[in-house]
Amino acid sequence: MNATRRTQNAERRKGARTVAVLFPFFVLRFAFCVLLLVLWHLAVIVTATTIFPSPLDVLRGLTELPHLAAYTRDSLFRVSAGYLSAVLLGVPAGLALGWWSSLARAANPLIQMLRPISPLAWMPLAVIWFGVSNLAPIFLIFLASFFPIVVATMNGVRNVPPVYVQAGRNFGLSTRALLVRVVFPAVLPRILVGLRIAFGVAWLVLVAAEMIAVDSGLGYLIIDARNAGKRYDLVVGGMLLIGFIGLALDALIRRTEKLRFVKWSFSE
Amino acid sequence: MRHFLPLTGILLFLLFWHVLVATSPGTLVPSPLQAILGIVELAEKGLLVRYIVASLFRVTWGYLAALLIAVPAGVLLGLWRRGEVAINPILQLLRPISPLAWIPIAILWFGVGDLAAVFLIFLASVLPLTLTTVNAVHNIEGVHLAAGRNFGLTTRELVRSVIVPAILPQLIVGMRITVGIAWLVVVAAEMIAVNSGLGFLIVDARNAGNRYDLVVAGMILIGAIGVLLDLLMRALERLPGVRWGYAAE
Amino acid sequence: MKVVFSGISKTFGGNRVLDDVHLSVREGEFVCLLGPSGCGKSTLLNIVGGFLQPSEGEVTIDGERVTGPDPRRIFVFQERGVFPWLTVEENIGFGLFRQSDAEKRERIAHYVQLVGLKGFEEAYPRELSGGMKQRLEVARALAVNPDVLYLDEPFGALDSITRLQMRRELLRIWQAEKKTILFVTHDIEESVQLADRVVVLSARPGRIRRVLDVAIPHPRDLSDPRYIALRDEIFGEIGLAHQV
How close does chain A come to B182, measured CA to CA in Å? 10
Tell me, yes or no, whether A5 and A85 share the same domain.
no
Closest-CA residue to A93 (of A151, A133, A143): A151
Please give the pLDDT value at position B93.
79
Please give the pLDDT value at position C241.
64
Q: How many CB contacts within 8 angstroms connect chain A with chain B? A: 190
Give A143-207 as a DSSP string. Answer: HHHHHHHHHHHHHHHHTS-HHHHHHHHHTT--HHHHIIIIIHHHHHHHHHHHHHHHHHHHHHHHH
Checking if the pLDDT of B144 tops 50, the result is yes
Q: Is residue C31 within 8 Å of C197, Cβ to Cβ?
A: yes
Sequence length of chain A is 268
Tell me, yes or no, whether A44 and A68 share the same domain.
no
From A10, A25, A49, give the residue that closes a domain: A49
CA pair distance B9, A105, nearest whole angstrom: 8
Which residues have CB under 8 Å from C11's CB, separation 6+?
C17, C55
Q: Is A179 part of any domain?
A: yes
Lowest-confidence range among A5-14, A170-179, A205-214, B33-42?
A5-14
Q: Is A18 part of any domain?
A: yes
Checking if the pLDDT of C64 tops 80, the result is yes
Checking if the pLDDT of B69 tops 90, the result is yes
> How does strand C56-61 pair with strand C3-12?
antiparallel
Tell me, yes or no, whether A79 and A171 share the same domain.
yes
Alpha helices in A23-114 (DSSP H): 25-47, 55-63, 68-99, 101-114
Contact: C74, A171; criterion CB under 8 Å: yes
Q: Which of residues 32-71 of B touch A (CB under 8 A)?
A: none
Nearest CA in chain B to A197: B177
Give the start-to-end residue ranges of the domains of chain C: 1-72+147-244, 80-145
Please give the pLDDT value at position A9.
52
Higher local confidence (pLDDT), C204 or C183: C183
Tell me, yes or no, whether A140 and A242 share the same domain.
yes
Tell me, yes or no, whether A232 and A142 share the same domain.
yes
Dihedral of CA atoms A5, A11, A15, A17 in degrees, nearest 10, equals 90
| Residue pLDDT, tens place only, B75-105 | 999 888 888 888 887 888 788 888 888 888 8
Tell me, yes or no, whether A17 and A106 share the same domain.
no
From A15, A33, A49, give the residue that closes a domain: A49
Q: Which of residues 147-176 of A touch C (CB under 8 A)?
A: 161, 163-164, 166-167, 169-172
How close does chain C come to A168, measured CA to CA in Å? 8
User: Does chain B touch chain A (at least 3 C-beta pairs within 8 Å)?
Assistant: yes
How close does chain A come to B144, measured CA to CA in Å? 11
Higher local confidence (pLDDT), A203 or B82: A203
Q: Is A268 part of any domain?
A: no
B119 touches chain A (CB under 8 A): no
**Domains contained in chain A, number:** 2
Tell me, yes or no, whether A246 and A209 share the same domain.
yes
Which residues of chain B does A159 touch, with a Cβ-Cβ cutoff of 8 Å? 248-249
User: Quick one: pLDDT band at residue B65, thresholds 50, 70, 90?
Assistant: very high
Classify residue B88 as exposed, middle or buried by CB count within 10 Å of its CB (0-12, 13-18, 19+). Answer: middle
CA pair distance A102, A62, nearest whole angstrom: 54
Lowest-confidence range among A85-89, B13-17, B92-96, B187-191?
B92-96
Sequence length of chain C is 244
User: Quick one: pLDDT band at residue C33, thresholds 50, 70, 90?
Assistant: very high
Q: Is residue A95 within 8 Å of A157, Cβ to Cβ?
A: yes
User: Quick one: pLDDT band at residue C176, thresholds 50, 70, 90?
Assistant: confident
Please give the pLDDT value at position A2.
46
Classify residue C109 as exposed, middle or buried by CB count within 10 Å of its CB (0-12, 13-18, 19+). Answer: middle
Please give the pLDDT value at position A268.
46
Q: Which of residues 235-264 of A touch B (CB under 8 A)?
A: 235-236, 238-240, 242-247, 249-250
Taking residues C103-127, report their average pLDDT.
Answer: 88
How close does chain A come to C168, measured CA to CA in Å? 25
CA pair distance B241, B198, nearest whole angstrom: 36
Segments of chain C assigned E as strands: 3-12, 15-25, 30-34, 56-61, 64-65, 73-76, 148-152, 180-185, 197-201, 208-213
Taking residues C107-111, report their average pLDDT.
Answer: 89
Tell me, yes or no, whether A44 and A59 share the same domain.
no
Three-state DSSP at C210 gives: strand
Q: How many CB contacts within 8 angstroms connect chain A with chain C? A: 56
> How does strand C3-12 pair with strand C73-76?
unpaired
Architecture of domain C1-72+147-244: 3-Layer(aba) Sandwich (3.40)
Which residues of chain A does C124 touch, with a Cβ-Cβ cutoff of 8 Å? 260, 263-264
CA pair distance B103, A111, nearest whole angstrom: 30
Q: Is A206 part of any domain?
A: yes
How close does chain C come to A256, measured CA to CA in Å? 14
Checking if the pLDDT of A12 tops 60, the result is no
Please give the pLDDT value at position C79.
65
CA pair distance A188, A156, nearest whole angstrom: 8
Q: Is residue B92 within 8 Å of A247, Cβ to Cβ?
A: yes
Which residues of chain A does C83 touch, with a Cβ-Cβ cutoff of 8 Å? 164, 167, 182, 185-186
CA distances from A42 to A34, A144, A238, B143, C92 (A): 12, 40, 22, 46, 66
CA pair distance A7, C127, nearest whole angstrom: 23
Contact: A167, C77; criterion CB under 8 Å: yes
Checking if the pLDDT of B249 tops 50, the result is no
Q: Which chains touch B (3 or more CB pairs under 8 A)?
A: A
Contact: C77, A166; criterion CB under 8 Å: yes
Taking residues B126-130, report their average pLDDT.
Answer: 92
Q: Is residue A170 within 8 Å of C75, Cβ to Cβ?
A: yes
| Residue pLDDT, tens place only, B15-34 | 988 898 888 877 778 888 88
Three-state DSSP at C146 gives: coil
Nearest CA in chain A to B225: A116
Checking if the pLDDT of B110 tops 60, the result is yes
Checking if the pLDDT of B120 tops 50, the result is yes
User: Quick one: pLDDT band at residue A19, thresholds 50, 70, 90?
Assistant: low
Q: What pTM value is reported for the model?
A: 0.82
CA distances from A120 to A223, B51, C15 (A): 16, 17, 53
A117 touches chain B (CB under 8 A): yes
Please give the pLDDT value at position A1.
40
DSSP C202: P
Higher local confidence (pLDDT), A50 or C118: C118
Closest-CA residue to C123 (of C158, C82, C162): C82
Q: Is A224 part of any domain?
A: yes
Segments of C186-230 assigned E as strands: 197-201, 208-213
CA pair distance B168, B163, nearest whole angstrom: 9
CA pair distance C58, A54, nearest whole angstrom: 82
Beta-sheet strand order (sheet of C15-25): C15-25, C3-12, C56-61, C64-65
DSSP C21: E
Contact: B85, A29; criterion CB under 8 Å: yes
Tell me, yes or no, whether A21 and A150 share the same domain.
no
Tell me, yes or no, whether A155 and A25 share the same domain.
no
B218 touches chain A (CB under 8 A): yes
Q: Is A267 part of any domain?
A: no
How close does chain A come to B142, measured CA to CA in Å? 7
Lowest-confidence range among B56-60, B145-149, C42-46, C230-234?
B145-149
Q: Is A109 part of any domain?
A: yes
Checking if the pLDDT of B118 tops 80, the result is yes
Please give the pLDDT value at position B227.
87
Taking residues A135-153, report their average pLDDT.
Answer: 93
Which residues of chain C does A163 touch, with a Cβ-Cβ cutoff of 8 Å? 77, 80-81
| Residue pLDDT, tens place only, A57-85 | 888 887 877 778 888 999 999 999 999 99
ipTM confidence:
0.82
**Residue C142 exposure: Cα atoms within 13 Å on the Cβ side:** 25
Tell me, yes or no, whether A245 and A190 share the same domain.
yes
Structural domain range at position A167: 55-262
Q: Is residue C98 within 8 Å of C87, Cβ to Cβ?
A: no
Please give the pLDDT value at position A3.
47
Checking if the pLDDT of B248 tops 70, the result is no
Smallest Cβ–Cβ distance between B89 and the set A4, A33, A128 belongs to A33
Three-state DSSP at C206 gives: strand
CA pair distance B185, A205, nearest whole angstrom: 9
Checking if the pLDDT of A18 tops 80, the result is no
A266 touches chain B (CB under 8 A): no
Taking residues C222-230, report their average pLDDT.
Answer: 86
Tell me, yes or no, whether A35 and A72 share the same domain.
no
CA distances from C63 to A268, B12, B186, B234, C52 (A): 49, 49, 68, 52, 19
**Phi, psi (deg, nearest 5) at residue C51:** -85, -20
How close does chain A come to B72, measured CA to CA in Å? 20
Closest-CA residue to B219 (of A151, A124, C9): A124
H or E stretch covering C168: helix C160-177
CATH number at residue A172: 1.10.3720.10
Which residues have CB under 8 Å from C189's CB, separation 6+?
C231
B98 touches chain A (CB under 8 A): yes
B121 touches chain A (CB under 8 A): no
